[in-house]
Amino acid sequence: MSNIYVIAEKTGLSPSTVARALSGRGYCSQKARQTVLEMAEKLHYTPTHAARSLKSKRTEKVLMCVPDIYNPFYFKMIQGANDVLEQYGYFILLCHTKHSVAQELKMIRSLTERYGDGMILVSFDFNEKNLAAIRDCPLPIVLTNKYGGEKVMDNFDYVYVDDTKGIYLATQHLIGQGHKKIALIVGSTAEQTGKERAEGFSAAMKDGGLPVPAGSVVQSDYTRKGGYGSAEKLLGGKDRPTAIVCANDLMAIGCMDSCRARGIRIPGDVAVVSMDNTDFCTCTSPTLSSIDMQQEELGRIAATLLMERIDKKRRLKESVCLEPELVVRQSSVTPQRR
């Protein structure tokens, strides 16, 4: 590999002149520039990113941590973020945190080691451990969840879709369709996201004057298989619900699998509404009603907030709240009730 010293030697110029010629910054005669550029070309010179980084303290990379790389929900966020970042000449460094706080902490540490200039952290659960690490980290981190426990001194940005409201809308929609026995398949309520979603469901049921009997809320893991298993529990009992809210599309599809296997018609026997509104929703039969959680926009805004910190030196915290949106399709509209 050639470097500026080799070029300097071969051209008889000094390394600093070579550097100026290459960078275009600082004085440099037309002739010198010409000579340097030709020699650089000839030697296949390319600058070394690490050396530049060491000086400039910029890596031109952003760490993006997602809890589940197998879930299409996050693809959309990654896409949105990538769209924005590439306009700044930035790359995404992808990290799969697998719902593990330890993994998140490790990545925050990597950020501190300057693997990147900032981070977009998609977590299901902000707790004292990762929040402490986020506060300690000298580089900007943008969160993509609602962050309840904000302290006055906190200085990180976040962008979120109100998922409590999202699942509220889903539940309300089913209530509006006349359903009385509505069940919920949700993720772990030990995590923030699962907890919020369970609360949204309860709130809607309460506001609709409906009880939430024991056994009508099942915890699962956001996978199709998990959704299937949970649906089996709900549909196998004697007091079968007439409608099910699923906390994401994959579980809803698993739920539909279970219905199909049991000969239960959707939406005739059981109506289904889910959350995320991924591309799957328009592929299933019946098509799946779902809450659009604006994932692409979420990624886009997270990236924008981050680049404002990195590039524009914004210092004051900002947060953005996006509105979830109910998209009604076939799975939740009982034909005879129309």
**What is the nearest approach in angstroms of its own copies to the Cβ of residue 138?**
7
Q: Which is nearer to its own copies, 69 or 328 (CB)?
A: 69
Among residue numbers 108 through 127, which ones bind its own copies (CB under 8 A)? Answer: 109-110, 112-115
Q: Could you tell which of its own copies, DNA, none binds residue 23, using a CB distance below 5 to 8 A set by kind?
A: DNA
Mask: binding to its own copies, 245-274, rule CB under 8 A, as x and -? Answer: --------x---------------------
Q: Tell me the Cα Rg of the chain.
A: 26
Q: Which stretch binds DNA (CB under 7 A): 29-37, 120-128, 148-156, 301-309?
A: 29-37
Q: Which residue in this structure is represented by tokens 């779902």?
A: 290
Count of residues that bind DNA according to CB under 7 A: 29
Among 25, 31, 44, 313, binds its own copies (CB under 8 A): 44
CA distances from 82 to 97, 124, 270 (A): 19, 21, 39
Q: Which is nearer to DNA, 15 or 72 (CB)?
A: 15
Give 186's contacts (C-beta < 8 A, 6+ positions apart): 194, 197, 198, 201, 217, 218, 219, 220, 247
- Cα separation, 282 vs 239, in Å, equals 30
Phi, then psi, of 98 in degrees rounded to 5: 55, 40
Among residue numbers 36 through 65, which ones bind DNA (CB under 7 A)? Answer: 45, 47-48, 51-52, 54-56
Q: Which is nearer to its own copies, 137 or 203 (CB)?
A: 137
Q: Under the criterion CB under 7 A, does residue 110 sit at the interface with DNA?
A: no
- Cα separation, 329 vs 338, in Å, equals 13
3-state percent helix, strand, coil for the chain, nearest multiple of 5: 45, 15, 40
Angle between helices 4-11 and 30-42 (to 10 degrees): 120
Binding interface with its own copies (CB under 8 A): 1, 44, 46-51, 53-54, 59, 61, 69-70, 72, 75, 78-79, 82, 86, 91-96, 109-110, 112-115, 136, 138, 224, 253, 279-280, 283-285
